[in-house]
Amino acid sequence: MPPQSGQPAPQWSPKDQAYMKEYLESHPDNRMAWYLLGKQYERSGEQGKANYCFNQAGDIYKAFENEPLPQETVEEQMKERTEREKRRRTKAAQLRAGLLAILFLLLLVLLPGGEAAAPDGMRLNVQQDKGHAPGPQEEIAGGTFYRLVAAGDDEGYAHVLRRILEKDRKRAGEDVVVRMQSDEAWLIWSRTPEPVLLASTPSEGGPIEMLPLAEPDCRCEEERQAANQGAALWAEASERRLIAKSALTAYVKQGKTAPDQWPAMAKAYPANSVSGTSAGIEQAYAEVLQVYRNGMARGAKRKRTEQALSRMWADEADPFREPIRIVVDKKRHRLGVVSGGILLRNYEVGLGGSRTPKGKFVISEKVVNPNGSSTGVFGSRGMTLSDTLYAIHGTNEPDSIGRDESLGCIRMLPDDVEELFDMVPIGTEVSIESDVLPGDLQVPDPEDRYRLDLTPKQDNPGKVYRWLD
């Protein structure tokens, strides 16, 4: 990600510095490259080497530093010092924003054949070679492609920029880099991610225009507002596709054929692989089903299924690359809904201390109003774990949430367990561990909860549940 106000610029590795010196051996007239190398020497305290590079940079150094070259006389430097420092104080914010443009140009010179136009305000025009083959479903002609990075992940941000610069120039459209916060080992999913960069590629191989949206001095309020709205819609759609992909994956892994429509998985108990439907999830399922079926090839059914699932989860248009899992943290009394290293939800739960076993389970059964009541001991929803007496369920003792008062089951608040019930299909993996989730809750506002229209008859009146409450 780009450096924020008050933070130092990312340092090059020795490998990066060696690469730049090698580049300059074959491109000694590239003054921007001399300038960038000089800045890195300056940050590492090697001022003599930095001054040599700045002298080679010539007018580029003056344009960015707004000061004479080091080789100019001391008398001239002393004469202009007072005025220069005054200009620096008044333009401090502009210089901080300029560091982001420098990072873009750094990536540019590391790519062969790169050229760049001088920045116009906060806009940077970049022209790259044509002909790079895009990854699977990476490019959407005339559309917007969102790329996710974690806050503080400089390496990830640099990788994203390289992908933008390397993509097929024949395809017009926009790339929006969005940032989400991270906590310990997890990237924290948000329905309102922060757009930090807008890269616009015109048709017919024109230069890319890059706007650093996260910089306060970026004169791009209209573009920033549009990017914020688009990123929120993208995040919501991505979450629905994840749920659709996870349900399809769990369904076919049970040896069943992927149904033509989502409602075929949302039947009455015990065929309620998913709990219900909505227009949004049906549309998302139709999209991922098409990708799944496009990945089917000839051969044995099992091999064809595995190949189709693998290709479906490799879709670069989605930030999620693994099915939904449930992770329970016994130490912190948390239940997380995760996909790979992304944490979508982090609920507070009640547990049973040593009576809650560690290990891996799967959701083998889902039931609405266990034992016939939404206000009973198991609340309005229950999910059996691997056909045992352990379950994830609601409770009529809300004060027990966050404590070890159950006989081994996982208790949840009503709104939490109902949202979870709608998100996860039968077959979802459940891992009970300790000290693996963040302590901060990750629970949507009431209006942002994921909800489906429940299929009728998902209760099971013929059975009395005796879970280890």
Q: Which residues are catalytic?
A: 393, 409
CA pair distance 110, 368, nearest whole angstrom = 58
Distance, in Å, from the CA atom of 148 to the CA atom of 100, rounded to the nearest integer, reads 18
- The dihedral through the CA atoms of 196, 200, 206, 209 has a sign that is negative
Q: How far is CA 430 from the centre of its chain?
A: 22
- Under 8 Å between Cβ of 100 and 212: yes
φ/ψ of residue 219, rounded to 5: -85, 70
Q: Give the pair of three-digit tokens for residue 413.
A: 């608040």
3-state class (DSSP) for residue 131: coil
The answer to whether 351 and 195 have CB atoms below 8 angstroms apart is: no
Cα-Cα end-to-end distance for the chain: 46
Q: State the Cα–Cα distance between residues 275 and 284, nearest whole angstrom.
A: 16
Chain centroid to CA 339: 11
**Cβ atoms of 30 and 109 closer than 8 Å:** yes
Burial group, residue 314, by CB count within 10 angstroms (0-12, 13-18, 19+): middle
CB 172 within 8 A of CB 203: yes
Alpha helix stretches (DSSP H) within 6-110: 14-26, 31-43, 47-57, 59-65, 74-90, 92-110
Are 363 and 423 contacting, i.e. CB atoms less than 8 angstroms apart? no
Q: What is the rounded CA–CA span in Å between residue 406 and residue 419?
A: 21
Q: Does the bond joining 270 to the residue before it have cis omega, within 30 degrees of 0?
A: yes
Residue of 138, 144, 189, 146 whose CA lies nearest to 166? 138
